[in-house]
Structure 1
Amino acid sequence: MPTVFITGCSSGFGLETAKLFLDKGWKVVATMRDPKDDILPQSANLIILPLDVTDPASIASAFERSGEVDVLVNNAGLGAAVPIELIEPATARQLFETNMLGTLAMIQAVLPGFRTRRRGTIINVTSSVTFKPLPLVSVYRASKAAVNALTESLAVEMEPFGVRVHIVLPGRSPETSFASNAMPHLRGLDNPDYKPLIEGMIANFRSDSGPVTHAVDVADAVWRAATDPSAPLRIPAGEDAVQWMAEAH
């Protein structure tokens, strides 16, 4: 029975992905900062573990308890929507420490085993905002673009060892906690120049009109990356993400 290790499973994309792999008969290691035992179906194939991707001791403990892993899904992430002029340095550092350095640390934890066994799959969930410049998400976008660049080079490094690497790029999703998680970092509503832009962004994040990405779209894309050896390096997830990727090329 193959094992998938998924970060950020408390809600949204990670939760839906964990459910899909359980339904498909995989052993699932579902990790989250604050474990919740009642959000996933009871199963002998399920392990729920605490994990902070910015804490080396937490990472080591989670992998020690999970056993051998076949697929790593780096889904955990932090969002923030702030004008470049106003973003706090601490917020910028936190975005890169979670989204980029946290992903790097997780990859480094599995690579020795993958390389030795000459198999394994790494799937990094980033964002379709990396396809084009958007206001207010500059540093978040930069952190996800960094993961894209990291993943592209990783794919080249791992090819000789039989390790597959993929990027899943979701679009805007009202089903995730991005907007609520980003709110504590918000700055600029008291600025008459930035206020209209920020209010428009908040309304857009919360709207389910137009093409959007559903959590099941991301779960399906991750499943494809995990199980289809012919899957491309970059896999858009969601109708809007597919459109943006086509426009970017």
Structure 2
Amino acid sequence: MAKVILITGGSSGIGKSVGEFLTEKGFQVYGTSRTPNNYPNSKFPLVALDVADVVTIKTAVAEVISKAGRLDVLINNAGAGITGPIEEIPEEEIKRNFETNFFGPLNVIKAVLPQMRKQQSGLVINITSIAGYMGLPFRGVYSASKGALELITEAYRMELKPFNIEMTNVAPGDFATNIAAGRYHAPVKENSPYKTSYGNTLTLMDEHVNSGQDPKIMANAILKVITTTHPKGHYKVGETMQKFSIVLKRILPDKVYERLLMNHYKL
């Protein structure tokens, strides 16, 4: 029997690539979008879901279970970027980012767990970010929201062991997707003390995404996790140097690592 997979944020970017790849591999895939009718050519069915709206989460999960009869894998992929000097980002934008990147995934997990317990099996894959392993300049809020999801997954894994439900993080580096276009950018203000440093960093970040790797690499990594009997807690997918940056943080003195990051971002 083909595993039933639900992917949040399945209409574009990594979610779309992963959904199409897994559909080709014979899985029964459902994706989500806030506006599924806008994607009539999707290669897998999309259900309406807004991760910031608990009612839509519960409705979407119930719809998938009603249609498929079960739910084997949740891929918490929906997310949003945010950039800016932390001092200048409006508080409501910070909260909105945590709603999407942290509280949203948690609420989707809560919605699927009763079914997975009933089946006595299930897998939750949280798509985090290599940025969640370190506080990056002018991406601090994004780093914090993804880092929070990384840590809570570690706790959740232990709580779910008695129910034969697995949970893991897959942290991508930069991939060529539309995340930069959908990201909240705090404006570069003429009178801001951060004008030069933030402006330069913003240009650099967009270049990294535009020259990022093919999302199919991420799709292959997700397939490997799904077909692993007992996945480990953390997976990193990206260019060698991006993954190595996590190792460097573990072994280098704080100030040395901080200087490396500042040099990278030309600060």
Q: In the alignment, does 2:244 pair up with 1:246?
A: no
Mapped to 2, the partners of 1:37 and 1:211 lie a distance apart of 26
Q: What is aligned with 2:125?
A: 123
Q: What is aligned with 2:262?
A: none
Q: Percent of aligned positions with the same letter in both sequences?
A: 31
Aligned CA-pair RMSD: 2.0
Note the residue ranges of structure 2 that are not aligned, 5 or more in a row.
Answer: 251-267
Q: What is aligned with 1:195?
A: 195
Do the aligned residues in 2 keep the contact of 1:124 with 1:167 (CA within 8 Å)? yes
How do 1:207-222 residues align onto structure 2 when only pairs under 5 Å count? 207=207, 212-222=212-222
Deviation at 1:38, TM superposition (A): 4.1
Q: Tell which deviates more after alignment, 228-237 or 17-26.
A: 228-237
Deviation at 1:211, TM superposition (A): 8.2
Do the aligned residues in 1 keep the contact of 2:170 with 2:234 (CA within 8 Å)? yes
Deviation at 1:123, TM superposition (A): 0.3
SS in 2 for 1:207: helix
Deviation at 1:208, TM superposition (A): 5.1
Instruction: Give TM-score scaled by structure 2 length.
Output: 0.84
Do the aligned residues in 2 keep the contact of 1:189 with 1:198 (CA within 8 Å)? no
Distance change (3 Å), C-alpha of 1:156 and 1:180? same
Q: What is aligned with 1:47?
A: 45
Q: In the alignment, does 2:63 pair up with 1:62?
A: no
Q: What is aligned with 2:134?
A: 132
Which amino acid in the other structure matches residue 130 of structure 1? Answer: G
Mapped to 2, the partners of 1:21 and 1:104 lie a distance apart of 23
CA offset digits 1:121-148 (Å, max 9, x no partner): 0000011012222111111111111111
Q: Tell which deviates more after alignment, 158-167 or 217-226.
A: 217-226
Q: In the alignment, does 2:145 pair up with 1:151?
A: no
Which amino acid in the other structure matches residue 17 of structure 1? Answer: V
Q: What is aligned with 2:226?
A: 226
Q: What is aligned with 1:80?
A: 82
Distance change (3 Å), C-alpha of 1:48 and 1:80? same
CA offset digits 1:127-180 (Å, max 9, x no partner): 10122221111111111111111111011111121111110101123x222221
Mapped to 1, the partners of 2:19 and 2:210 lie a distance apart of 27
Aligned residues: 243
Which amino acid in the other structure matches residue 214 of structure 1? Answer: D
Note the residue ranges of structure 1 that are not aligned, 5 or more in a row.
Answer: none
SS in 2 for 1:83: coil
- Residue among 98, 105, 111 paired with 1:109: 111
Q: What is aligned with 1:96?
A: 98
Question: In terms of Rg, which structure is larger?
Answer: 2
Q: What is aligned with 1:22?
A: 23
Deviation at 1:79, TM superposition (A): 1.2
Mapped to 1, the partners of 2:6 and 2:150 lie a distance apart of 20
Q: What is aligned with 1:142?
A: 144
Do the aligned residues in 2 keep the contact of 1:131 with 1:244 (CA within 8 Å)? no
Do the aligned residues in 1 keep the contact of 2:166 with 2:231 (CA within 8 Å)? no
Which amino acid in the other structure matches residue 9 of structure 1? Answer: G
CA offset digits 1:173-200 (Å, max 9, x no partner): 3x222221224x4133324531222222
